[in-house]
Amino acid sequence: MTDAPAFQSGIDSVLQIRRKRRLSNWIWGAAAFLLIAWCFYGTIWLDTEWSRMGGLMGVASAIQRFLWVDWSLAPNLIIPTIETVMMATLGTLFGCVLALPVAWFGAYNVTPSRTIAYPIGRMLMVTSRSIHEIIWALLFVAAVGLGALAGILAIAMRSIGFISKITAEAIENIDAKPVEAIRAVGGNQFQVMWYGIIPQILPVVIGTVIFEWDINIRRSAVMGLVGAGGLGLVFFRQMAQFNFGGVTMVIFAVLLLIMLAEIVSHYARKAII
The residue extents of the domains of the chain are 4-60, 75-272
Q: What is the mean pLDDT of residues 96-125?
A: 89
- Residue 9: pLDDT band (50, 70, 90) is low
Q: What separation, in Å, do the N-terminal and C-terminal C-alpha atoms of the chain show?
A: 67
Within 13 Å, how many C-alpha atoms sit on residue 107's CB side? 22
Amino acid at 70: D
Asked if 183 and 193 count as a contact pair (C-beta separation under 8 A), the reply is no
pLDDT at residue 1 tops 60: no
- Residue 226: pLDDT band (50, 70, 90) is confident
* 75-272 CATH fold: MetI-like fold (1.10.3720)
Q: What is the mean pLDDT of residues 5-20?
A: 71
What's the pLDDT at 92?
92
- Residue 159: pLDDT band (50, 70, 90) is very high
Tell me, yes or no, if the pTM score tops 0.85.
Answer: no
What is the torsional sign of CA 122, 123, 124, 127? positive
Q: Note the Cα 49 to chain centre separation in Å.
A: 31
What's the pLDDT at 143?
86
Quick: pLDDT tens for 42-95: 777 777 776 666 666 666 777 777 777 888 888 888 888 888 888 889 999 999
